[in-house]
Amino acid sequence: MLVKYYVGDIVQMRKQHPCGTDEWEVLRTGVDFRIKCTGCGRVVMLPRPKFEKSVKKIISSAGAEAEGQT
The pTM score is 0.84
List, run by run, the mean pLDDT of 10-residue segments along the chain (70 residues): 90 94 96 96 96 94 65
DSSP string, 14-59: SS--TTS--EEEEEE-SSEEEEEETTT--EEEEEHHHHHHHEEEEE
The answer to whether 36 and 23 are in contact (CB under 8 A) is no
Question: What per-residue confidence (pLDDT) applies to 12?
Answer: 97
